[in-house]
């Protein structure tokens, strides 16, 4: 079964990346959400995940005087949201292994999508150009880069666009809060085109974004005008670039294996009914 995957990333924090990712999930539901901003996870604030299954994340081993032992670096979750299942994780402060954790989250998100017959995975990636962003962009069908009309936004979006180009990822560019500085918004879009991205949308500055966040909702869940209309047009562009992706349910099952916190290997199946079984 063909599963499409779109990663929403940004060159810097505070561009509205997660808000836009949740809005895409609201418009494209049912689908699978993958929370890959593992060092500063915020996706759960707007999706309100419930019934989560927690699995410890074991990264590199910790050295002791006479041995190496597995170290728990964070945790991964499978939860349910109003948009569909969500695979997400967090990394303990100061721990390494963010790229591996993101790759693991994405792998299980695709497994859950196949098991439940869902054809789309929306990845909420990290900001910047570091390991979690590289892991978020690897082999995705579309990278949606969210920029803002500021000088720092122009600088940082250049870095992530160059990264996406180097990884040969199909890239779309969206300028959020473009009306704060229309001239800079033009420069951001020009830079995006020069680096191989397709400009797909502009989203206006709108107080409804803040109001919806206070309600823990996506901006498109109640509003239909203003920024919500801009995001709806963005979704139309994303859907067009991804091509057809809906299909009937699938009963495919996958085997997975993971090193548990005690160093033993646990294996089991992931399916639409059993979720994570280790």
pLDDT digits 0-9 by tens, 46-67: 999 998 899 999 877 888 888 8
User: Is residue 37 situated within a structural domain?
Assistant: yes
- CATH number, domain of 137, equals 3.40.50.300
Per-residue pLDDT, averaged over 155-165, amounts to 96
pLDDT band at 1 (very low <50, low <70, confident <90, very high): confident
- Vertex 107, ends 106 and 111: CA angle to 5°? 115
- Vertex 175, ends 42 and 154: CA angle to 5°? 95
Q: At what angle do helices 227-242 and 17-28 cross, to 10 degrees?
A: 70
Which two tokens mark 213? 């966040």
Please determine, for residue 262, whether its predicted confidence score (pLDDT) is greater than 50.
no
User: Is residue 262 situated within a structural domain?
Assistant: no
CA 256 to chain centre: 22
Query: What is the domain extent for residue 109?
Result: 4-60+68-246
Instruction: Say if strands 254-259 and 265-271 run parallel, antiparallel, or are unpaired.
Output: antiparallel
Please determine, for residue 216, whether its predicted confidence score (pLDDT) is greater than 60.
yes
Please give the mean pLDDT across all residues of the chain. 87
pLDDT band at 248 (very low <50, low <70, confident <90, very high): very low
User: Sign (positive/negative) of CA torsion 198, 243, 102, 92?
Assistant: positive
Closest C-alpha to 21, from 37, 12, 33:
33
User: Is residue 33 situated within a structural domain?
Assistant: yes
User: Is residue 49 situated within a structural domain?
Assistant: yes
pLDDT band at 151 (very low <50, low <70, confident <90, very high): very high
| 3-class SS of residue 30 | coil
What residues does 75 pair with on adjacent strands?
56, 90
Closest C-alpha to 192, from 167, 157, 163:
157
How many structural domains does the chain have? 1
User: Is residue 275 situated within a structural domain?
Assistant: no
Residue 245: predicted pLDDT? 54
| 3-class SS of residue 117 | coil
Where is mean pLDDT largest: 89-98, 156-165, 261-270? 156-165
User: Is residue 217 situated within a structural domain?
Assistant: yes
What are the phi and psi torsion angles at 174 (to 5°)? -125, 130
Per-residue pLDDT, averaged over 162-179, amounts to 96
Per-residue pLDDT, averaged over 8-21, amounts to 94
Lowest mean pLDDT among 122-136, 158-172, 259-273: 259-273
CA 169 to chain centre: 15
Please determine, for residue 259, whether its predicted confidence score (pLDDT) is greater than 60.
no
Residue 277: predicted pLDDT? 33
Which two tokens mark 268? 């089991």
User: Is residue 267 situated within a structural domain?
Assistant: no
């Amino acid at each position: 079964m063909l599963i499409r995957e779109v990663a929403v990333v940004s060159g810097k924090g505070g561009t509205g990346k997660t808000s836009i990712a949740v809005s895409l999930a609201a418009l494209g539901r049912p689908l699978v959400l993958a929370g890959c901003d593992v060092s500063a996870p915020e996706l759960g604030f707007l999706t309100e995940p419930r019934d989560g299954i927690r699995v410890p994340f074991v990264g590199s081993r910790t050295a002791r005087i006479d041995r190496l032992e597995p170290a728990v670096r964070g945790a991964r979750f499978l939860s349910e949201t109003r948009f569909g299942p969500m695979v997400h994780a967090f990394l303990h402060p100061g721990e390494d292994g963010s790229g591996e954790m993101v790759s693991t989250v994405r792998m299980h998100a695709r497994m859950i999508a196949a098991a439940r017959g869902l054809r789309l995975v929306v990845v909420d990636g990290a900001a910047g150009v570091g390991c979690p962003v590289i892991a978020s962009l690897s082999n995705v069908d579309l990278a949606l880069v969210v920029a803002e009309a500021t000088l720092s936004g122009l600088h940082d979006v250049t870095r992530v666009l160059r990264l996406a180009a180097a990884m040969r990822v199909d890239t779309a560019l969206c300028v959020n809060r473009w009306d704060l500085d229309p001239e800079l918004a033009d420069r951001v879009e020009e830079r995006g085109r020069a680096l191989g991205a397709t400009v797909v949308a502009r989203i206006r500055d709108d107080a409804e974004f803040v109001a919806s966040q206070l309600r823990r909702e996506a901006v498109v869940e109640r509003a239909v005008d203003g920024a919500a209309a801009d995001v709806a047009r963005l979704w139309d562009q994303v859907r067009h670039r991804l091509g057809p992706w809906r299909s009937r349910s699938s009963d495919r099952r996958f085997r997975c294996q993971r090193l548990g916190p005690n160093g033993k290997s646990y294996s089991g199946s992931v399916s639409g009914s059993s979720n994570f079984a280790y």
